[in-house]
């Protein structure tokens, strides 16, 4: 299978869904599914690097996920904590630059500190950007941006003003959004930034997502005709 480089996405957003179902179908606790989900994240970063994808955004915890049982929420934060603790060296060696998006003021203070640390430690890396969406919701992000603009005293708001005040102000829009787990919705993920993203849904549960699934998504992306509102390309009939 060949991939023409110029037709690969630069930024991929991933809605990692299906951890719970992956686990319960195996008679395991949901948290085991979240743990396996971290393995899928590591795997995906390595595959993305092979294809020279520049930015991966992973939806790790949404503003709506607070509705879950406290034990699952605490477990998810512990898994993110372990991931940031145990992988700093590897991420540095592999040239991964970690950034984040979401309201980190509401997550456990020590985890917020850990994330800030890893962001600082990896800031000079330049192989790939990994954006972790933690306590992220697109509506919350828009409210954050508009509040910033209000504080700046803006009364006439341009699209660029909004873009510059989103959590993603330093990142280009995602070209491709992949959602695993079978649902076909965005669940409050990057609503503003994905205005022209290509959407790809797969039934595969996130912990099972591997290289062949990733390549399938890229292949599908390459078939899409991204027009951004322009004319159809002339096609043979």
- Cα–Cα distance measured from residue 137 to residue 98, given in angstroms and rounded to the nearest whole number: 19
CA 118 to chain centre: 17
Contact characters 35-74, ligand IPE, x per CB under 6 A: ------------------------xxxx--x---------
Nearest Cα to Cα of residue 117 among 78, 81, 73: 81
Nearer Cβ to ligand IPE (16/96): 16
Contact positions with Mg ion (CB under 5 A) in 16-35: 17
Counting every residue written for the chain, the total comes to: 237
**DSSP assignment letter at 17:** -
- Options 14-22, 31-39, 47-55, 66-74: segment touching Mg ion (CB under 5 A): 14-22
Structure tokens that stand for 42 in this block: 């590591």
- Cα–Cα distance measured from residue 188 to residue 63, given in angstroms and rounded to the nearest whole number: 9
Of 8, 9, 11, 15, which one interacts with ligand IPE (CB under 6 A)? 15
Active site residue 17: yes
To Mg ion, the closest distance from the beta carbon of 53 in angstroms equals: 24
The values of phi and psi at residue 82, to 5°, are -60, -40
User: Which residue of the set 6, 65, 110, 147 is catalytic?
Assistant: 65
To ligand IPE, the closest distance from the beta carbon of 188 in angstroms equals: 8
> Residue 221: left if φ>0, alpha if ψ -120 to 50, beta else—which one?
alpha
Of 10, 21, 213, 215, which one interacts with ligand IPE (CB under 6 A)? 21
If one asks whether residue 36 binds Mg ion (CB under 5 A), the answer comes out as no
Structure tokens that stand for 158 in this block: 């341009």
15 binds, among Mg ion, ligand IPE, none (CB under 5 to 8 A by kind): ligand IPE
Residues at the site binding ligand IPE, with contacts judged by CB under 6 A? 15-21, 59-62, 65, 76, 181, 183, 185, 187
């Amino acid at each position: 299978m060949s991939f023409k480089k110029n037709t690969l996405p630069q930024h991929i957003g991933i809605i990692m869904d299906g951890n719970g179902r992956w686990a319960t179908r195996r008679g395991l606790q949901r948290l085991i599914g979240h743990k396996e989900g971290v393995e899928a994240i590591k795997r995906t970063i390595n595959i993305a690097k092979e294809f020279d994808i520049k930015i991966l955004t992973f939806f790790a915890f949404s503003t709506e996920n607070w509705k879950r049982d406290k034990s699952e929420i605490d477990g998810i934060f512990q898994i993110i904590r372990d991931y940031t603790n145990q992988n700093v060296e590897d991420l540095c060696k592999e040239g991964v630059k970690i950034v984040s998006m979401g309201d980190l003021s509401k997550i456990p203070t020590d985890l917020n500190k850990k994330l800030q640390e890893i962001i600082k430690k990896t800031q000079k890396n330049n192989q790939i950007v990994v954006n972790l969406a933690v306590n992220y919701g697109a509506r919350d992000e828009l409210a954050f941006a508009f509040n910033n603009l209000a504080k700046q005293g803006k009364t006439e708001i341009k699209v660029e003003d909004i873009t510059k005040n989103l959590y993603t102000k330093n990142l280009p829009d995602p070209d491709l959004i992949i959602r695993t787990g079978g649902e076909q919705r965005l669940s409050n993920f990057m609503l503003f930034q994905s205005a022209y993203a290509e959407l790809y849904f797969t039934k595969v549960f996130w912990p099972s997502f591997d290289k062949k699934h990733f390549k399938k998504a890229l292949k599908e992306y390459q078939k899409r005709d991204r027009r951004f509102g322009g004319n159809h390309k002339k096609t043979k009939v």
